[in-house]
Each structure stands twice: as structure tokens, then as C-alpha cells.
């Protein structure tokens, strides 16, 4: 089972834990500017995902994984990302990112 974790620079960062095996990372770039980061992970067991506000790191939410949309295959997660990031002829694209470049917390 796969999930997509979303972070938005300047707003919030979503952090996986040991219960989610990271598979791929993608930057959503809109007219040359990164608007979001998507990380596809394999959900190994039910867990809680840490979401930290950028403006005030003391604001932390623990979101139960049962609320995350799930995908049976990696390909299904790719289809969802493509759907989220295509807006007609607008300059929007997904740029693959190395997992090693992700911040840890």
C-alpha cells in the first residue's frame, strides 16, 4: 500500500517515520517555482505522520495514516500525482528529487 506525503515550503513540512518506507520524491514546480514536495512511501503499518508548521515549529500535528489516501501500486500513486499537477497548458511539472536530499526530522 502506497501513500503520498505532501509538504509546502513556507507553510508546513510532513515527515515520515519508520512505519513508512520512502520510495520516491518529487518537487511540484509551477512557472519555475517550487510549490510543493511530494514523497511517495510504502505504508508498512498504521502510524501517525508528523506535520510541522514552518512559521512556528512548536505547532505539530500528528495525522493518523488512516486519513491518507492509499494506492495499491506505485503506478497508481504516479497517476494521482500526474492528476494533481496537470492544469491544461500551464507551466506545471513534476521534477524527481533524490531521497537523500530530503530533510529529516
pLDDT tens profile 61-103: 999 999 999 999 999 999 999 888 777 678 888 999 888 877 6
**How far is 10 from 21, CA to CA, in rounded Å?**
25
- Comparing CA positions, the residue from 24, 23, 3, 6 lying closest to residue 15 is 6
pLDDT of residue 89: 73
How far lies 76's CA from each of 8, 62, 66, 70, 81, in Å? Answer: 22, 25, 18, 9, 9
Query: Across residues 43-49, what is the average pLDDT?
Result: 97
Query: Across residues 8-20, what is the average pLDDT?
Result: 95
Query: How is residue 64 written as a grid cell?
Result: 493518523
**How far is 72 from 68, CA to CA, in rounded Å?**
13
Coil, helix or strand at residue 16? coil
Query: How is residue 78 written as a grid cell?
Result: 504516479
Structural domain boundaries of the chain?
2-100
pLDDT of residue 91: 83
Q: Quick one: 4 exposed, middle or buried, by C-beta within 10 A (0-12, 13-18, 19+)?
A: buried
Amino acid at each position: 500500500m502506497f501513500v503520498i506525503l505532501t509538504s509546502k515550503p513556507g507553510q508546513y513540512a510532513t515527515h515520515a517515520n519508520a512505519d513508512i518506507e520512502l520510495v520516491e520524491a518529487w518537487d511540484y514546480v509551477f512557472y519555475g517555482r517550487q510549490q510543493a514536495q511530494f514523497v511517495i512511501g510504502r505504508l508498512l503499518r498504521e502510524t501517525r505522520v508528523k506535520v510541522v508548521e514552518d512559521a512556528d515549529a512548536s505547532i505539530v500535528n500528528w495525522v493518523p495514516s488512516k486519513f491518507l489516501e492509499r494506492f495499491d501500486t506505485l503506478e497508481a500513486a504516479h497517476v494521482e500525482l500526474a492528476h494533481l499537477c496537470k492544469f491544461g497548458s500551464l507551466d506545471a511539472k513534476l521534477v524527481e528529487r533524490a531521497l537523500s536530499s530530503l530533510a529529516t526530522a
